Structure 1
Amino acid sequence: MKYSSALYIGRFQPFHNGHYKALKWILEKSNRVILGIGSAQHSHTKENPFTVGERIEMISNQLIHDKLIDKVIIASIPDTNDQHNLWVSVVQHYCPSFEVVFSNDPLTRLLFLEKGIKVESIPFFEREKYEATKIREMISSGLGWEEYVPEKIAEYIKEKKLDERLKKIYSK
């Protein structure tokens, strides 16, 4: 039996092939996925170089290209500045309804479980290869990063010169 709606949260800085494989795996388990873009208020830093708008646009481009856009709703979710007791309420405020959360993050799992919301794990898809921190470092140094992200993500980053932004951020 498929879930009607599932939540998958991440910062997606950038949205890489591991995230995309996880999203496709979740789509096998659910008719619709709410892709929650966390840390929505942050940008232009080493940890969060892209704006929430840029992340929405690059992910949407890939979903449109692969004809998955009708199965995914993208929502932006701001941080609660370590007020963990508020976080689930904030997520519910910013997202359409969902019946299950897919996450491997221990704190995320704990917070949703404490609120009585079903949580499931996601298989790791080549985690040692697809690690956002390493990919950001590769982008900043211009080292063959394109193979680690979906095609339309790489195109967007280059077209909008976001790779140049990362080079500037990392050179500080």
Structure 2
Amino acid sequence: MTAGAVYVGRFQPPHAAHLASIRHALAHADHLLVLLGSANLARSVKNPFSAAERARMLRGALREVGADLRRVTFRPLPDRFDADLWAADVRREAAAVFGEGTPVSLVGFEKDASTAYLRWFPGWGRLPVPEVPGLNATDLRAAYFTGRPLPDGVPEAVRVFLAQFAEKPAYNRLCMEWEAVEAARAALPPGAHLHEKRWLHVEEGKVWLHTRRDPIGLGLWELPGRVLPLGEIAAGGHEFAHPARALVAPTTAHVYREAVPAAFPARPVPLALALRAPRRFHEDHHAIFMRLLAGAAASSSPG
């Protein structure tokens, strides 16, 4: 029996395989820390539910199977689109819950590139969990946003939450986004990689942003600019190319720290407001914004 275990996931939404992993972890650890990933990202077809909503679904589903919730702690975990920064966040959360120096085991099994992080924690134990074949959250979201019956393996508490959420305006927006994302992907050849140009301009306590009118990310802020046509490649600027940063296809962003060209509409937003509102930004634009601001602050500080 290990003292503490850490289970990282997006749980978008939770399903029976997630519950099986949690119950397996609780059978082998005194306490489990569940880190709810992508907590800083806006609602999208990939991440439709907030960290609080996912914690609510998981608590309800765990109560249904009689799990001891006193032994489970839920914490939000932001996406950093940087492995080192993200792993440091995981370690920091584990230390805050279990204390420095407490033996910790990481829960999970390696299924694909999305779980490569299991190898990023030397010195931590591993708590492998049994795989539940044929069940994944991607297929569940596909059914949910296209009005098809949910597959087996969805806990009743999650079904109830999803039914209630479907009555909200956010659900209709996400259904439209799902259709738009699928159409955009279908228009691209297999293996397509896109480029985009973006601008970050900060001046006198304001940052220049654009509000999206496209069904994908409707109403969210973005750094002004555009995705380039397939085959057109940008150059220069700060490059951001995390494979999971864009919703439609792998996309390399080239971000320029200069005034926004007149061709791209943008308006000034108070910098303090933008800093504290990551979930109002499209895709990873807030993470880019924060990374470049931090870099500028570091380069301007006395050596």
Superposition deviation, residue 37 in structure 1 = 0.7
Structure 2 residues not aligned, in runs of 5+: 181-303
Match of 1:130 among 129, 135, 138: 135
Distance 2:70 2:176 in 1: 36
Match of residue 118 from structure 1:
125
Match of residue 37 from structure 1:
36
What SS does the corresponding residue of 2:152 show, helix, strand or coil?
helix
Give percent identity, aligned residues only.
Answer: 22
Distance 1:85 1:164 in 2: 34
Structure 1 residues not aligned, in runs of 5+: none
What SS does the corresponding residue of 1:108 show, helix, strand or coil?
helix
Whose helix fraction is larger, Structure 1's or Structure 2's? 1
What SS does the corresponding residue of 2:45 show, helix, strand or coil?
coil
Q: TM-score, normalised by structure 2?
A: 0.51
Match of residue 80 from structure 1:
80
What SS does the corresponding residue of 1:14 show, helix, strand or coil?
coil
Q: 5 Å matches for 1:1-172? A: 2-68=1-67, 69-81=69-81, 83-95=82-94, 96-97=97-98, 99-105=104-110, 106-113=115-122, 116-126=123-133, 129-145=134-150, 147-161=152-166, 164-165=171-172, 166-172=174-180
Distance 2:131 2:65 in 1: 22
Distance 2:58 2:177 in 1: 22
Asked whether the equivalents of residues 22 and 125 of structure 1 are also in contact (C-alpha less than 8 Å), the reply is no
What SS does the corresponding residue of 1:148 show, helix, strand or coil?
coil
Aligned partner letter, 1:111: W
Aligned partner letter, 2:177: I
Q: TM-score, normalised by structure 1?
A: 0.85
Aligned partner letter, 2:176: K
User: Which stretch of structure 1 is more off in the superposition, 153-162 or 135-144?
Assistant: 153-162
The one-character-per-residue Cα deviations of 1:82-106 (angstroms, maximum 9, x if unpaired) are: x212222211223422611112245
Higher gyration radius (CA): 2
Asked whether the equivalents of residues 14 and 132 of structure 1 are also in contact (C-alpha less than 8 Å), the reply is yes
Figure out how many residues of one structure are paired with residues of the other and give that number. Answer: 166
